[in-house]
Structure 1
């Protein structure tokens, strides 16, 4: 696997890459495209959640404890 030392365990990134490669029947291009598609979907979801939280905060729907500890209110 691309110059890795066999004696050490796989890193988390290597485990994920191996899973994507296996799911893509060891087609590197298909695996790369799927990784990018999944990352973009995760970013879209994070942006959606952030926008929703901002709407709640701007409308005053923030609950006690939702602000980080030590922050002035």
Structure 2
């Protein structure tokens, strides 16, 4: 893999993984503290984050394609 692609790929993958881990950890802590399901607002926020991450992933793939095709 080209170094140009890695420059974009490594930080973005780290951000995505960190976000997923953080969301999972927060959800588990919230359930264990209250013993209840997520509120509607929290569910909506998590869905929005998931959608945003999916859009970001598509943008990253597009950037990778552009970089690879330029060479």
When normalised by structure 1's length, the TM-score is: 0.48
Q: Which has the higher contact order (CA 8 A, sep 6+)?
A: 2
Name the structure where helix makes up a greater proportion of residues. 2
